[in-house]
Amino acid sequence: MAVAAWLYERSESEVIYFLLEERSMQRALENLLPLIIPGESYEIRSHNGKEDLQLAIRKVVPTLSRQPGVIIVILHDQNSHNCLELKNKLKVLSERADCEVLIRIVCKELEAWFLGDMAAIEQAYPRFRAAKFQNRKRFRNTDEIKKPSEHLRRIVPELKRYDILSKLDAAERISACMNVRNNRSKSFNHFVTGLKKIVS
């Protein structure tokens, strides 16, 4: 099987495996996880979109989950899906796992987490002014914003000149400045709380 062949390698110590849709989330977690779960051992693996991720969950997670002390964390963008229906689908796909599995839905996509921390955006892009946007109604619950990646591109002066947001670059820059204890994205806070609980 070609998909996620790395998962068949046996871990020699307890480890948390993060299974993600894409590389931009990997870039973000590389900056965020040392702040959320300092001292923990983990591996981050991104996939080529939701179909590739779901295939890995179904076919590879059962084998991976038999390693001693393993915890699996699955992060999946909500996009246009119903959140509860999507989470239930992922639960079904991972039901053969022999370890604890944490499933978290990113509402609606990763950039909603960034919009939840306007101060981090300002640090990453100095021409942006957080005070101009952070009290606007639409940004009070960033999980409700449709296409947050497009909103991010439109409000950040350094990004406006691009037709399409460079998600990898934005993820690396903004996540490096984020405060994991202060974010308006409920799905981000839900992820942080769940992750801390599962490793405690």
Number of domain units in the chain: 1
Give the pLDDT mean for 71-90: 96
Largest CA-CA distance found in the chain, in angstroms, rounded:
50
Say if 169 falls within a structural domain: yes
Residues 159-181 have pLDDT tens digits of 998 888 899 999 999 999 999 99
DSSP 8-state secondary structure symbol assigned to residue 103? E
Strand pairing category for 42-46 and 71-77: unpaired
Cβ neighbour number for residue 75 with a 10 Å cutoff: 25
Q: What pLDDT shows up at residue 40?
A: 96
Question: For the chain, how far is it from start to end, CA to CA, in angstroms?
Answer: 34
Residue 135 belongs to some domain of the structure: yes
Going through the chain in order, the beta strands assigned E by DSSP cover 16-20, 42-46, 71-77, 100-106
- Residue 9 falls inside a structural domain: no
% of the chain exceeding 70 in pLDDT: 94
pLDDT of 8 above 90? no
Tokens of 78: 């909500």
Residue 8 within any structural domain of the chain: no
Within-domain flag for 100 = yes
Contacts of 113 (CB under 8 A, 6+ apart): 28, 106, 142, 178, 183, 185, 187, 188
pLDDT at 13: 53
- Asked whether residue 2 carries a pLDDT value surpassing 50, the answer given is no
In the predicted model, is pLDDT for residue 10 greater than 50?
A: no
- When the pLDDT of each residue in the chain is averaged and rounded to a whole number, the result is 93
Q: How many CB atoms lie within 10 A of CB 98?
A: 13
Cα torsion through 191, 197, 199, 200, rounded to 10? 150
Percent of the chain with pLDDT over 90: 90
Residue 72 has pLDDT above 70, yes or no: yes
What is the bridge-based pairing of β-strands 100-106 and 16-20?
A: unpaired
Q: 57 lies in which domain range? A: 14-200
Per-residue confidence band for 5, with pLDDT thresholds at 50, 70 and 90: very low
Give the global pTM: 0.91
Mean pLDDT score, 49-54: 96
Residue 3 lies in a domain: no
What's the mean pLDDT in 32-56?
97
- Contact between residue 44 and residue 16 where contact means Cβ atoms under 8 Å apart: no
The C-alpha atoms of residue 50 and residue 64 are separated, in whole angstroms, by 19
CA distances 145 to 120, 140, 148, 182, Å, are 18, 10, 6, 18
Asked whether the predicted pLDDT for residue 6 surpasses 50, the reply is no
- 117 within domain boundaries: yes
Residue 53 lies in a domain: yes
Q: Where does the pLDDT of residue 1 fall: very low under 50, low under 70, confident under 90, or very high at 90 and above?
A: very low
The reported pLDDT for the residue numbered 11 is: 45
Write the pLDDT tens digit of every residue in 11-34.
445 899 999 999 999 999 999 999
